[in-house]
């Protein structure tokens, strides 16, 4: 790659890790890297993103001050008109930090930010298992729950960029019980903290993280199996909910928990009893790179 | 009988512009038309002459009050073409007739033939014929018919699926049978989608880009409108929220058949829950609501639970699609007391900002929406330009026919 060639810079910012890539003008990744997200919060994270661009530039031998387009995935909802970010639980200070302004200061005007799960949806649509779909969703399950939606071949963001913020789907608590004081039912059942908490409540002791629970499951731990059964049941009900609302062709499972076959296969097993019409679900083909690949692709699209 | 103007290219675009100006600004003079469309006076006059010959426009008077010569004013002629909108509900059948300018000329309704199937189709044909005859509209002048039906219209096969509230429709070729009876092609569309389009054209959702319409009546359903388009889903089944896993055990027999939510909040569900709670016999949901207003404790409880489940369904909609406006409609959903309760619960349930309104067209919403789709099709038939993807915008409301 020479300094003359048009290129893009893409990043996928998560609560625990930051992935970044240089892509060519078609949005195909040329070089990429991943590092732990700077825990000190928004301003440091923004600097870290810019530093990633420099490092990648050195790797491929170009000066990354003027990429033709920059696309950064953000783990929150972005108001389409104002660019204001909300619903970010895991990066301190990002809601009040003008990350778009910062990035434009560094890279020039052609910078965009997009919800990270939306970008994962685009990644799967462009290069993954949803490549033939016009109506699909990317269901991300990890620390929290999020959804990227493709409707009639286009990303669907909702009136204020909050479409797919499914943390408070009314799924999980007994629906005939008292009205919960606030939302958040679904995430309170399937978020990673909820899963670990469920494991402890059911008498398990040795797990500190969901990863531990998956390891225990492999060793034949019955509590771990039961906890995943319960979690999968709630996820299956979310799938039924999405299907009845939007009549999708495919729901892609992603995120650190969503991609695990131990969960995905349980959901698959539960679905036939819950619906009269079949629902296609599939694990993410691009795995934890879906967001970054989607960001690079979207940056390439912006050059067209 | 006018037919599609045959000239192509720029002339086609000119005709479309003049038609659009007439649609939105009649009565209007030739000079004013030229000003609005940006076309030359010569071109405008040629188009108007052609339209007049085709019977699309007619002179309606002269300008007055200004100094100087007066000018002839034109409007779209009611003879230009008619459309029929039909709303086949589980309880009521409504038919409406409009002219090419979107003026609603007449409406009629009667209880739906409870035998359903071919009887319902026969009833539609009879009511439509009568409406046309009473308005001295020859059936051949009706250029397009849109039928609102409950259930899912499969976009590939044209069949009506999942319509548990009207008997015997699923096995019928409704489009074929009705088209044959009425002598005009019939287009089917889901009733809730059309109610939503009705609210967007003439009702409470005008000029909103992102609307969800939640209807609760005999059944429960959702219409979604995003960036100028209906969201239909892969098989036309988007918005079938009767199947939401809310309000009971989704594995229960009734839930499997009717859908979990509909089993609880659909008309039969509300009446069943009232009976189970110890209420005496009722024939309709309306009676349950009337008794709740009279203070019958069983009815009050059933209505409150119905509102709570409806609010939970709305929460799922808001979390997933983030509408700018949520319209509550349907014979139950549009009741002011009920809608207020739902809105109050939603405020507690959902942290998302959403505006909530009740349907302003009430039970006319479906038929008005059917007319809007039929009109767009008629306009497109006359003035569709392949290069222009967008349909001609429909005229605003409050244009009633002089005949009424």
pLDDT tens-digit map of B341-365: 999 998 887 667 789 999 999 989 9
* Whether residue A261 sits in one domain with residue A149: yes
Structurally, chain A folds into a number of domains equal to 2
B245 vs A contacts (CB less than 8 Å)? 171, 237, 240-241, 274
Mean pLDDT score of chain B? 87
What is residue B170's predicted lDDT score, i.e. its pLDDT?
73
Q: Band of the pLDDT at B172, cuts 50, 70, 90?
A: confident
Residues A37 and A59 in one domain: yes
Cis (ω within 30 of 0) for the bond into B27? yes
Total Cβ atoms within 10 A of residue B388: 13
Domain range for A184 is: 132-284
**Of residues B69 and A39, more confidently modeled:** A39
Question: Which pair of structure tokens corresponds to residue B353?
Answer: 């900002």
Same domain, A245 and A296: no
pLDDT higher than 90, residue A295: yes
Which among A246, A273, A281 is the top mutation candidate for probing chain B, defined by the most B β-carbons within 10 Å of its own β-carbon? A246
Residue B301 confidence (pLDDT):
95
> Is the CB of B245 less than 8 angstroms away from the CB of A274?
yes
What pLDDT sits at residue B157? 63
Domain with residue A246: its CATH number is: 3.30.420.40
Report if residue A127 sits inside a domain: no
Q: What is the ipTM of this complex?
A: 0.92
Are B10-79 and B206-360 equal in CATH topology? no
Task: Assign A175 a pLDDT band (cuts: 50, 70, 90).
Answer: very low
Is A192 a member of any domain? yes
Residues A148 and A104 grouped into a single domain: no
Binning chain A into helix, strand and coil, the percentages to the nearest 5 are: 45, 20, 35
Using only the alpha carbons of chain B, give its radius of gyration: 23
Q: Which CATH superfamily is domain B206-360 in?
A: ATPase, nucleotide binding domain (3.30.420.40)
Mean pLDDT, range A206-221, rounded to an integer: 91
Among chain B residues, CA nearest to A273: B251
- The distance of A47 to chain B (nearest Cα, Å) reads 31
What is the reported pLDDT for A35?
A: 97
Share of chain B above pLDDT 90, in %: 59
Please say if the pLDDT value at position A153 is more than 60. yes
A278 and A293 both lie in a single domain? no
To the nearest whole Å, the CA of A212 is away from the closest chain B CA by 31
- Are A140 and A275 within one domain? yes
In this structure, is residue A2 part of a structural domain? no
The per-residue pLDDT for B155 is: 65
Name the most confidently modeled range: A82-91, A134-143, B249-258. A134-143
Burial of B142-165, coded b for 16+ CB within 10 Å and e otherwise, reads bbbbbbbbbbbbeeeeebbbbbbb
Q: Which of B222, B250, B321 sits opposite A163 (nearest CB)?
A: B321
pLDDT in tens, B315-331: 999 999 999 999 999 99
Hey, where are the domains in chain B?
10-79, 81-196+364-383, 206-360
Task: Judge if A12 and A101 occupy the same domain.
Answer: yes
CATH 3.30.70.270 correct for B10-79: no
Task: Identify whether A276 is part of a domain.
Answer: yes
**φ, ψ for residue B367 (rounded to 5)?**
-70, -35
- A146 plus A246 within the same structural domain: yes
pLDDT at B389 over 50: no
Better-predicted residue by pLDDT, B49 or B397: B49
Contact B250, A237 (CB under 8 A): yes
Whole-number mean pLDDT of chain A? 90
Which of A37-51, B53-67, B112-126, B259-273 comes out lowest in average pLDDT?
B53-67
On whether both A243 and A164 belong to a single domain, the answer is: yes
A196-217 mean pLDDT: 89
Q: A16 with A151, same domain?
A: no
My answer on whether A186 and A105 are in the same domain is no
Q: From B251, which residue of chain A is nearest by alpha-carbon distance?
A: A274
Q: What CATH number does the domain located at B81-196+364-383 have?
A: 3.30.420.40
- Contact present, A199 and A226 (Cβ < 8 Å): no
**Which of A149, A181, A276 minimises the CB distance to B256?**
A276
pTM of the full predicted structure?
0.89
B395/A113 Cα distance (integer angstroms): 38
Same domain, A171 and A186: yes
Q: Which is more confidently placed, B250 or B384?
A: B250
pLDDT score, position A103: 94
pLDDT band at A183 (very low <50, low <70, confident <90, very high): very low
Per-residue confidence (pLDDT) for residue A182, from 0 to 100:
43
């Amino acid at each position: 790659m020479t300094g003359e060639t048009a290129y893009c810079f893409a990043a996928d910012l998560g609560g625990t890790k930051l992935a970044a890539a240089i892509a060519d003008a078609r949005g195909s990744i040329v070089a990429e890297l991943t590092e732990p997200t700077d825990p000190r919060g928004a301003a440091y994270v923004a600097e870290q993103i810019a530093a990633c661009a420099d490092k990648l530039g050195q790797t491929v031998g170009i000066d990354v001050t003027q990429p033709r387009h920059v696309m950064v995935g953000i783990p929150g909802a972005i108001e389409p008109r104002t660019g204001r970010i909300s619903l970010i639980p895991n990066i301190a200070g990002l809601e009040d930090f003008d990350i778009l302004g910062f990035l434009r200061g560094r890279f020039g005007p052609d910078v965009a930010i997009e919800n990270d799960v939306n970008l994962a949806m685009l990644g799967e649509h462009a290069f993954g298992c949803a490549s033939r779909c016009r109506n699909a969703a990317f269901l991300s399950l990890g620390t929290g729950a999020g959804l990227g939606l493709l409707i009639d071949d286009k990303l669907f963001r909702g009136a204020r960029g909050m479409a797919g913020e499914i943390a408070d789907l009314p799924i999980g608590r007994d629906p005939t019980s008292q009205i919960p004081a606030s939302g958040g039912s679904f995430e309170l059942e399937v978020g990673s903290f909820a899963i670990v908490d469920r494991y402890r409540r059911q008498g398990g002791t040795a797990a500190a993280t969901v990863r531990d629970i998956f390891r225990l499951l492999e060793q034949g731990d019955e509590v771990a199996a039961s906890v995943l059964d319960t979690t999968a049941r709630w996820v299956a009900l979310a799938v039924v909910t999405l299907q009845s609302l939007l009549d999708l062709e495919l729901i892609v499972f992603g995120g650190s928990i969503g991609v695990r076959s131990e969960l995905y296969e349980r959901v698959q097993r539960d679905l036939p009893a819950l619906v009269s019409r079949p629902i296609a679900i599939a694990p993410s083909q691009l795995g934890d790179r879906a967001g970054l690949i989607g960001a690079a692709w979207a940056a390439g699209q912006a050059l067209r | 009988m006018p037919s599609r103007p045959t000239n192509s290219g720029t002339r086609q675009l000119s005709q479309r512009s003049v038609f659009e100006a007439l649609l939105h600004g009649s009565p209007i003079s030739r000079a004013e038309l030229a000003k609005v469309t940006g076309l030359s006076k010569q071109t405008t006059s040629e188009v108007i002459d052609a339209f007049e010959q085709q019977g699309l426009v007619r002179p309606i008077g002269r300008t007055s009050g200004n100094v100087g010569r007066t000018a002839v004013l034109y409007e779209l002629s009611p003879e230009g073409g008619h459309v029929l909108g039909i709303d086949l509900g589980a309880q009521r059948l409504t038919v409406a007739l409009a002219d090419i300018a979107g003026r609603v000329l007449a409406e009629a309704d009667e209880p739906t033939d409870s035998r359903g199937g071919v009887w319902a189709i026969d009833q539609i044909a009879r009511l439509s014929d009568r409406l046309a005859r009473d308005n001295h509209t020859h059936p051949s002048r009706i250029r397009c018919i849109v039928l609102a039906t409950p259930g899912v219209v499969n976009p590939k096969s044209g069949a009506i699926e999942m319509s548990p509230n009207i008997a015997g429709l699923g096995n019928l070729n409704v489009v074929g049978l009705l088209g044959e009876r009425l002598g005009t092609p019939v287009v089917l569309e889901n009733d809730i989608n059309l109610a939503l389009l009705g609210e967007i054209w003439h009702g409470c959702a005008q000029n909103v880009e992102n609307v969800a319409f939640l209807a609760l009546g005999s059944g429960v359903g959702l219409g979604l409108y995003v960036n100028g388009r209906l969201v239909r889903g892969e098989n036309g089944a988007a918005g079938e929220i009767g199947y939401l896993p809310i309000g009971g055990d989704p594995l229960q027999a009734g839930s499997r058949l009717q859908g979990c939510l509909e089993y609880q909040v659909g008309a039969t569900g509300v009446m069943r829950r009232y009976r189970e709670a110890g209420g005496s016999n009722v024939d309709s949901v309306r009676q349950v609501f009337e008794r709740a207003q009279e203070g019958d404790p069983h009815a009050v409880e059933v209505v409150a639970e119905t509102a709570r489940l409806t609010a939970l369904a709305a929460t799922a909609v808001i979390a997933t699609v983030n509408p700018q406006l949520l319209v509550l409609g349907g014979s139950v959903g549009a009741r002011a007391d009920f809608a207020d309760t739902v809105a109050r619960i939603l405020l507690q349930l959902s942290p998302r900002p959403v505006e909530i309104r009740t349907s302003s067209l009430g039970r006319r919403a479906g038929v008005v929406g059917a007319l809007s789709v039929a009109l767009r099709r008629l306009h497109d038939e006359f003035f569709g330009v392949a290069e222009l993807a967008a349909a001609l915008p429909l005229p605003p409301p409050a244009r009633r026919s002089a005949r009424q």
